[in-house]
Structure 1
């Protein structure tokens, strides 16, 4: 397998755990009287994810062609289950409770959709250049986008982005994507208009200082600004002491900038760029279309999620609640990310 890719993944996981502890220790002590609370939960999910990554990395990726449709059906079923029986946390219904554990089905949907779309595009490879075929493939994406987007707009955007990138990679024609972009913008416009709070986010983004809900964005920007070139030092953040709400989640990059400065933040970004570059190499050198599309889907997922998270933290785009892969707190997220890495590692073992 691609050992460079494996090393980069392990580096991101290790760095992520260190940063997570630094960022979450205060909140853990205040809320649960245990500064290691978040680290222990994340470490458990990470170990489980690493075991599953190595397991998946040793299974021929062609096996997943047979499970592609069932994975898609399971993603739809789980998304419906969240709407009906989901557990509401911080005003969002995104989790299913399984005894003492909470499971976020939208993370499973990302991996399932990559496999399903790779299989679907491969079956329509000869006619992929036709607009009719592209629209037919996009129709399969919309049910998951709609179901997930009802409670989690940010993940719906990522899923839609993965689908568009996979079709773009496989298609020999580019002009028709202009029409698809128009349809996508129209869809997003309607989707935003359906809920007033989504339009409110646009107003907060433009003038965060005028809204109470702009507090998190402003505190994140204060953290970034106070970090300077080399930061205040690991563990020395002031903003994580209750000023940036839930600093271990979506806004963790702002604490990275504060504690590690521009140099440390650039190192994290460099690791993600190297990871995306390895995905690109695997996708371009794979022996068959199915493997190439799996690697391209993982590349799209990582690229979109990292860009959107950093853009939100720096207030370049409206706040959409997107986590930073491998670093933000979230057991389901890190587990399925590592399973996805296992898929790509197996594809890399069969490149030319």
Structure 2
């Protein structure tokens, strides 16, 4: 009789152990749906913004930019879904892959500068071209930062609280920044890489007091530099600073031709816009309207109302990333998703600030919408990494674990 009495309690203990080990059935379909919606909207606006230029440049093929972007987007979406469904980011090979991507991206950036594979377009040598396929290695560096730095941070453990460890993480970020700047002449992407390293470092040791001490100092220095340059524009006339100095000069002087035309487009769109496809500024007035200035075309054709809807979509996508990071089962999953969150938010903020003439022109694209096959593909793959983390989330009430146990018994 004693054995019969103890058997139910033993079964309950085994069930509890199994509940802890079972993976979750959770998958953030909302994040996936929001990503697909943004990509689809981006393709529509890309065709609208680029049809005229494509037809005049590529012998009447008005869908040239659209078909290239659609191909990259579709392939990246399939890869992201497979990645999120099949890959376990806890496996050791995932950490080796993170190191391979980080250092491999630097090697590819070096190939851009020092080998014939480097390809120059729009006055800059930033692309690799192999068998007709081109890519920007600096974009791969963003995934390398997001995947590799959390590995190093977790390996350091409690030592991350030391100044030496933090400087080492910043050094790894600065390596990517310097590689993007000096090897591919892409300072704007380098700045994003440096900011990603700073965000990941802050999340690894979120002692707000330490960072708040330096923030006022940075703001004061930035304000002083702005006032000095604003009142001494002749510095740019006498100095040979290249196109970056020209961009700063144009910004301090009131805006470049491209930015001013973009502001005219935003103003002429009003609240409701002129209607999809009815933009006039995109017809030779705004150079490369399908790239970093596409937000101004959205405002002109769909109005402020349409622009707000786009911002709401980005806001919801960032909210879903925040939910995944907050409920991630481990520190690595949290840092991975937070890196994706930081990347999307930084690019959206910087792109819109450029369009509104709040900062100098940078050439940073609007995620999922601007033309750029490498950029949109790697951004979608980052969403796939976040979805991979979401698959391992277990609700605190144990509901998902119970569902998994039932499925296993059946």
TM-score by length of 1: 0.93
Q: Deviations over 1:26-69 (max 9, x none)?
A: 11111012111110111111111111111211211223213222
In the aligned structure 2, how far is the partner of 1:52 from the partner of 1:220?
Answer: 35
Paired position in structure 2 for 1:52: 79
| Offset of residue 153 of structure 1 | 1.2
Q: Deviations over 1:74-103 (max 9, x none)?
A: 011011112223211111111000121111
Among candidates 64, 67, 71, match of residue 40 of structure 1: 67
Asked if 1:134 is matched to 2:166, the reply is yes
| Offset of residue 183 of structure 1 | 8.7
- Report if the CA contact (8 A) 1:129-1:172 is conserved: no
Paired position in structure 1 for 2:4: none
Paired position in structure 2 for 1:24: 50
Of residues 131-140 and 299-308 in structure 1, the stretch that sits farther from structure 2 once superposed is 131-140
- Report if the CA contact (8 A) 2:39-2:368 is conserved: yes
TM-score by length of 2: 0.80
Of residues 199-208 and 45-54 in structure 1, the stretch that sits farther from structure 2 once superposed is 199-208
In the aligned structure 2, how far is the partner of 1:303 from the partner of 1:204?
Answer: 26
Asked if 1:155 is matched to 2:197, the reply is no
| Offset of residue 208 of structure 1 | 4.0
2:393 counterpart SS class: coil
In the aligned structure 1, how far is the partner of 2:157 from the partner of 2:273?
Answer: 50
Among candidates 205, 212, 215, match of residue 171 of structure 1: 205
| Offset of residue 322 of structure 1 | 0.5
| Offset of residue 128 of structure 1 | 2.3
- Report if the CA contact (8 A) 1:208-1:215 is conserved: no
- Report if the CA contact (8 A) 1:221-1:314 is conserved: yes
In the aligned structure 2, how far is the partner of 1:258 from the partner of 1:280?
Answer: 31
- Report if the CA contact (8 A) 1:131-1:176 is conserved: no
Paired position in structure 1 for 2:251: 205
Q: Larger Rg: 1 or 2?
A: 2
Cα RMSD for the two superposed structures: 2.2
| Offset of residue 277 of structure 1 | 0.9
1:94 counterpart SS class: strand
Q: How many residues align?
A: 345
| Offset of residue 172 of structure 1 | 3.6
Among candidates 126, 133, 144, match of residue 112 of structure 1: 144
Gaps of 5+ in 1: none
Distance change in 2, residues 1:183/1:60 (3 Å): farther
Distance change in 2, residues 1:350/1:230 (3 Å): same
2:313 counterpart SS class: helix
Distance change in 2, residues 1:184/1:126 (3 Å): farther
In the aligned structure 2, how far is the partner of 1:326 from the partner of 1:177?
Answer: 32
Gaps of 5+ in 2: 1-26, 226-235, 395-410
